[in-house]
Amino acid sequence: MKNFADVLIEEILHKNSVLVVGLDPDLQYFPDFLAGNDEISNQQASEAIYHYNRIVIDAVAEHAVAVKPQLAYYEVYGSEGIHALEKTIAYAKSKNLIVINDAKRGDIGSTSSAYAKAFLGNGSLAGDMVTVNPFLGSDGYLPFIEEAGRNGKGLFLLVKTSNPSSHEVQDVKLENGELLYIKMADDINKLAQQTLGENNYSFIGAVVGATYPMEAEKVRKVLPSSIFLVPGFGAQGGTANDLKPFFDAKGLGALVSSSRGIIYNGAKEEKKTEAILYEFIAKAAKESKDKINEVRLSH
Mean pLDDT of the chain: 93
Question: 30: closest CA among 21, 39, 18, 43?
Answer: 39
Q: Give the active site residue among 93, 95, 104, 183.
A: 104
Query: What total of structural domains would you count in the chain?
Result: 1
Q: How confident is the model at residue 36 (pLDDT cuts 50, 70, 90)?
A: low
Active site residue 173: no
CA distance 222 to 124: 35
Q: How confident is the model at residue 212 (pLDDT cuts 50, 70, 90)?
A: confident
Q: Give ∠ CA 203-228-117 in degrees, rounded to 5.
A: 40
Lowest mean pLDDT across 35-39, 63-67, 86-90: 35-39
Given a cut of 60, whether residue 236 has pLDDT beyond it is no
Q: In percent, how much of the chain has pLDDT > 70?
A: 96
Given a cut of 70, whether residue 34 has pLDDT beyond it is yes
**Residue 133 has what pLDDT?**
96
CA distance 165 to 205: 22
C-alpha distances in angstroms, 289 versus 89, 244, 298?
Answer: 22, 14, 14
Contacts 24+ apart (CB under 8 A), 160-164: 160/207, 160/208, 160/209, 160/212, 160/215, 160/216, 160/219, 161/207, 161/209, 161/231, 162/209, 162/210, 162/211, 162/212, 162/231, 162/232, 162/236, 162/238, 163/209, 164/211
**Residue 174 has what pLDDT?**
81
> How confident is the model over 160-208, as pLDDT tens digits?
888 778 787 776 788 898 888 899 999 999 999 999 999 999 999 999 9
**Residue 47 has what pLDDT?**
97
CATH number of the domain enclosing 172: 3.20.20.70
Given a cut of 90, whether residue 38 has pLDDT beyond it is no
CA distance 129 to 143: 14
CA distance 219 to 186: 9
Residues in the chain: 299
Domain that holds residue 291: 4-296
